[in-house]
Amino acid sequence: MKYFTITFIFLILFFCSKSTDSFDPNLGEEFFLKYGETKQIQGENLSLKFLNIGDDSRCPLGTVCRWEGNFEIILKIFDQDFSVNTNLDPKVIYYNNFNIRLVSASPYPESNKIINKEDYTIQLVVTK
């Protein structure tokens, strides 16, 4: 009985600790993608990978800039690489019958603070 209780508690903790971020999103649903991560749109023949960062020239917090800057990411869609920007065109990629829009990117830069690529997360939405 003691081993059954310990196993049961372990299984509850294991399944409760699973993040919903690991699930593949539905069409029209906003979702997060970590640097290097790939997600498949449920029910569609479409997978997206946050491949790289092209540029992060956003005006850092605590500074005054003449321009708000831009954040550019490179997405891998099947075997093709596409660039998407937060403040410049394209904000949306049109791929086959899909519209892939960059909603946000984090973390936001701070002056005198370096952001590692692995710390970036983007928010996307895919529609038809």
Q: Which residue has the tokens 């996307």?
A: 124
Amino acid, single-letter form, for residue 1: M
Query: What pLDDT is attached to residue 79?
Result: 81
pLDDT confidence of 6, banded at 50, 70, 90? Answer: very low
Q: Which residue has the tokens 């500074």?
A: 63
Q: What is the mean pLDDT of the chain?
A: 86
If we measure between CA atoms, which residue out of 112, 83, 102, 127 comes closest to residue 33? 102
Q: Say what the pTM is.
A: 0.78
pLDDT, one tens digit per residue, over 9-67 is 444 444 444 444 568 999 999 999 999 999 999 999 999 999 999 989 999 998 999 99
